[in-house]
Chains A and B, each alone.
Chain A
Amino acid sequence: MYHSVYTSVYTRIGAALLVAGGLAAPVFYVVAQSVPLTALALAAILLGTTALLLGRSLPGIPPQAAEVLLQTGLENVARLLEEIGLDTRAIYLPSRLSGGRPRALIPLDGTVPREGPLRPVADRLIVDFGPRPEDVGILVATPGTAAAEMAPPAQAGGSAELEAGLARVLVGALDVAATVDVAREDGMVRVTLTGLRLTHPDLWIYRSLGTPLASVAATYVAEGLDRPVVIQSEDRRGDRLTVWLDVRA
């Protein structure tokens, strides 16, 4: 029980500090007549209140349960793609191009179109995304689809805004990385995540969508820049992941 364990840890620490500070403050002030010690007791009250508030804001779902749900969802799509034999790299579309929510488009013809803008697609499973008859693909939700809604997209689309937004999602809301670094270089966006706390099995779908963290990064960058994005490569070394994203027209 993630929520209750962590809540009780913060709540216990908070309550202990609050009670200790509350009892000690008058004793230190009246009996000991020591202002620094009274101030320390005040600090304990403040810290205790802060810990209690943090305890109230923890997510209600255990990380293990979230991982199981994520894997189950992805495995179903993976089985579908594996059956078709599709391992084309997905194009991450911003919500403007994919019927209101950011999604990933997997072209069925086995190639990722490089030239020309993509046509906005309907929010359906099989969609028509270009002028050619073979421009048909599967539109799927990704881990990034839900995660990108946790922080408003970076409106200006600069590296700093993207970095702040991604950190809000991955470090603050999901607690799966310790730091996020975003840099834009020659039409590419490099996202570096360190202190990773998410492991995953090797699924077929990752050839298409990328790993869950890369997927979140790609979705967020696509939404922030309002342009389609393809995961060019991923390099994981220990608890550090570098993702190269190709920003399309």
Chain B
Amino acid sequence: MILYNRYLLTLAALFGVSTAILAGYHQEKLDAYFTLYVIEYLIVTLLFAYLHPRARRLLDALGYLLFGGFLVIVILKVVEILKGS
């Protein structure tokens, strides 16, 4: 399944590059890395539009889960800001 290999390699390359860039900027917040991974995952999954329908369903489910995690981070940040003010 060449398409699956390409999909996994694209994700791995993006995760590696983004980690290197953020580490290069001395980013010390884990949620920043996680948020970037989620965005990259959602974009790559969207761009690989021709994946097998079964694969797409499963990957979309994982996407919802990750997006949920992203929302939790956003909510925690908002609470933090509100508490600070």
Give complex CA distance A36, B59 in Å. 25
Q: How many A-B residue pairs have CB under 8 A?
A: 96
Nearest chain A CB to B16 CB, angstrom units: 8
Contacts of A47 in B (CB 8 A): 8, 11-12, 15
Q: Would you call A112 an interface residue if the criterion is a C-beta within 8 Å of the partner chain's C-beta atoms?
A: no
Q: Would you call B53 an interface residue if the criterion is a C-beta within 8 Å of the partner chain's C-beta atoms?
A: yes
- Chain-B contact segment, one of A53-61, A85-93, A131-139, A205-213: A53-61
Chain B, interface residues (CB within 8 Å), range: 20 to 34
Mask, B14-42, CB within 8 Å of A = 1, is 01100100110001111001100100010
Q: Is the CB of B62 within 8 A of A39?
A: no
Interface size on A, residues (CB 8 A): 34
Q: Specify the chain B residue showing the minimal Cβ separation from A6.
A: B1
Q: Is the CB of B30 within 8 A of A38?
A: yes
> Within A2-56, which residues are at the interface with B (CB < 8 Å)?
6, 10, 13, 29, 35-36, 38-40, 42-43, 46-47, 49-51, 53-54, 56
Contacts of A240 in B (CB 8 A): none
- Chain-B contact segment, one of A66-74, A95-103, A116-124, A172-180: A172-180
On whether A56 and B41 interact (CB within 8 A), knowing A42-B33, A50-B8, the answer reads: no
Q: Is the CB of B33 within 8 A of A35?
A: yes
Nearest chain A CB to B75 CB, angstrom units: 19
Q: Is the CB of B8 within 8 A of A54?
A: yes
Q: Specify the chain B residue showing the minimal Cβ separation from A171.
A: B50
17 A-B contact pairs sorted by A residue (CB < 8 Å): A13-B8, A35-B33, A36-B23, A39-B19, A39-B33, A39-B37, A42-B37, A43-B37, A50-B7, A51-B8, A151-B53, A164-B50, A167-B49, A171-B3, A172-B50, A173-B53, A175-B1
Could you list which residues of chain B lie within 8 angstroms of chain A, going by C-beta atoms? Answer: 1-4, 7-8, 11-12, 15-16, 19, 22-23, 27-30, 33-34, 37, 41, 49-55, 57-59, 62, 66
**Across the A-B interface, the 4 shortest Cβ-Cβ residue pairs:** A39-B33, A36-B23, A172-B50, A57-B55
